[in-house]
Structure 1
């Protein structure tokens, strides 16, 4: 046992933190509640240009063997990317967090646990 919190619990914590901060969080695909991978689509708006930006972050293992956030933003269509990933891994959680603190909440929640 590696001491990690179950994926479902981390997803719930992320959604609650996002919603409590005035942002929006939603589950796009529900994965395995215990050990499913977590793919987070982080959406924020650049205050200088009002441009909407989307990034894809995933819980994975870093080069040091510890849990890390990996930026796996595709060069083009994010929707096709996560659907393709989900078709190969039905245990994968896919969530979208839309708000100013989405990336920070993701890092704090996933990397601390």
Structure 2
């Protein structure tokens, strides 16, 4: 039995938490309702964009890991990566969080 929350429930809770803290959150790309991969794009005042993805760990758990950071000198590269990543797997959810200290909303991080 899989104890994971359905993707849409996890994302709904994430969006409400960010909005409750006075931030902005939105679904950029909607994936498979129950088991889609979740990517979280965090930003603070349109700076320091980071992409977080849940990855398998050596102990068998799955944790969110920063897989990409935006280079301020080449923002286009980051944008193109996001497009490729969501196009490769149509089950992928991409959720953008714009809030102060956004990493505190990434599940499992102690930011």
**In 2, distance between residues paired with 1:102 and 1:53?**
10
Aligned length: 104
What is the TM-score of this pair, normalised by structure 1?
0.83
Cα distance, 1:27 vs. partner?
0.6
Residue number in structure 1 paired with 2:37: 37
Give the 5 Å matches for 1:49-68. 52-68=47-63
Where structure 1 has 5 or more consecutive residues not aligned to the other structure, the ranges are: 46-50
What is the TM-score of this pair, normalised by structure 2?
0.84
Cα distance, 1:11 vs. partner?
0.6
**In 1, distance between residues paired with 2:35 and 2:83?**
19
What value does the CA root-mean-square deviation take over the aligned residues?
1.8
Cα distance, 1:19 vs. partner?
0.7
Cα distance, 1:67 vs. partner?
1.6
